[in-house]
């Protein structure tokens, strides 16, 4: 149990285009989802936290108009990188948790990540 | 705010030997969780071990065990009988205790330790 999927796993796009990344919880209700960005050989940097049905809370320094997050259902959150530029190239990871569960289900479960390359 | 520090950017160990990864943290919270995550070359984040701060007994999971020193705010990971498949980036992480139903707590990650197991 507690499986999180991400799609696509890899995406290459041209500068100026928008890219959407999906994060799905497959066997539990993801009442809260987190989006991270990770550069090579570095740690995960939290970009935003989203609760189902609410607007996302962005971390300081993260442009909310550039990284649009939608968490419209209990199993799906999307991250849209708008007008992508080469500096947006990175590895994006989502995680999900069910805040209504206790114990291990209170943990974050991670998706496999999406590698974005902007040419 | 919480901070997590991993002072060993890289470590190596011979197959079948034991290695210890260090982690220290700083917090004013009294109730929290500590985690070790493994990120192999596939970049999927995998939970290795979890420790509740209120439990004095150190957590163990097969070949993985921790040395949790709450007063010293130290949380080291010991890997026994190292295997080639243990080669990965290891992240120590902190999470405040969350009350069921609340939107919940973020994970604060350390910088990571790249562990290489040599044949």
Res A105: pLDDT: 47
- Structural tokens at position B114: 């790249």
- CA distance, residue B32 to nearest chain A CA (Å): 12
What CA–CA distance (Å, rounded) separates A86 from B67?
A: 42
- CA distance, residue B27 to nearest chain A CA (Å): 19
Ranges A28-37, A101-110, B3-12, B102-111, most confident: B3-12
Res A99: pLDDT: 64
Nearest C-alpha in A relative to B110: A43
Closest of B4, B10, B7 to residue B88, by C-alpha:
B10
Percent of chain A past pLDDT 90, that is, above it, reads 71
Contact assignment for A93 to B45 by CB distance below 8 Å: yes
- Structural tokens at position B13: 């160990």
Res A34: pLDDT: 94
Q: How confident is the model at residue A77 (pLDDT cuts 50, 70, 90)?
A: very high
Q: How confident is the model at residue B117 (pLDDT cuts 50, 70, 90)?
A: very high
Res A29: pLDDT: 86
What CA–CA distance (Å, rounded) separates A31 from B101?
A: 9
List CB contacts of A81: < 8 A, sequence separation 6 or more.
Answer: A18, A19, A20, A21, A66, A67, A88, A116
What CA–CA distance (Å, rounded) separates B51 from B90?
A: 16
Distances (CA, A) of B65 to B68, B88, B105: 10, 17, 24
Closest of B79, B42, B75, B72 to residue B58, by C-alpha:
B75
Please state the φ and ψ torsions of residue A106, each to the nearest 5 degrees: -85, 0
Report whether pLDDT(B28) > 60: yes
- Structural tokens at position B44: 């999927």
Interface test with A, best of B9, B103, B116 (most A CBs within 10 A): B103
pLDDT of A22-45, one tens digit each? 999 998 888 889 999 999 989 999
Contact assignment for A95 to B45 by CB distance below 8 Å: yes
Nearest to A34 among B33, B42, B106 (CB): B106
Res B102: pLDDT: 63
Nearest to B109 among A32, A43, A99 (CB): A43
Res B100: pLDDT: 63
């Amino acid at each position: 149990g507690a499986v999180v999927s991400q799609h696509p796993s890899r995406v290459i796009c041209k500068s100026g285009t928008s890219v959407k990344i999906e994060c799905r919880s497959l066997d539990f209700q993801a009442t809260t989802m987190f989006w991270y960005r990770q550069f090579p050989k570095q740690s995960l940097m939290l970009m935003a936290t989203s609760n189902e049905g609410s607007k996302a809370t962005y971390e300081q320094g993260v442009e909310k108009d550039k990284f649009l997050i939608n968490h419209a259902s209990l199993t799906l959150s999307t991250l849209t990188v708008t007008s992508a530029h080469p500096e947006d190239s990175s590895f994006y990871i989502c995680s999900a948790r069910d805040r209504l569960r206790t114990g291990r289900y209170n943990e974050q479960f991670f998706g496999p990540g999406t590698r974005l390359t902007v040419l | 705010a919480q901070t997590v520090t991993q002072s060993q950017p890289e470590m190596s160990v011979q197959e079948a030997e034991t290695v210890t990864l260090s982690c220290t943290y700083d917090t004013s919270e009294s109730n929290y969780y500590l985690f070790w995550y493994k990120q192999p070359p596939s970049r999927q984040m995998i939970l290795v071990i979890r420790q509740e701060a209120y439990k004095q007994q150190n957590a163990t999971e097969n070949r993985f065990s921790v040395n949790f020193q709450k007063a010293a705010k130290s949380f080291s990971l010991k890997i026994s009988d190292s295997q080639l498949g243990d080669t990965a980036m290891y992240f120590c992480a902190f999470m405040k205790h969350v009350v069921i139903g609340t939107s919940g707590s973020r994970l604060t990650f350390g910088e990571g330790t790249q562990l290489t197991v040599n044949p």
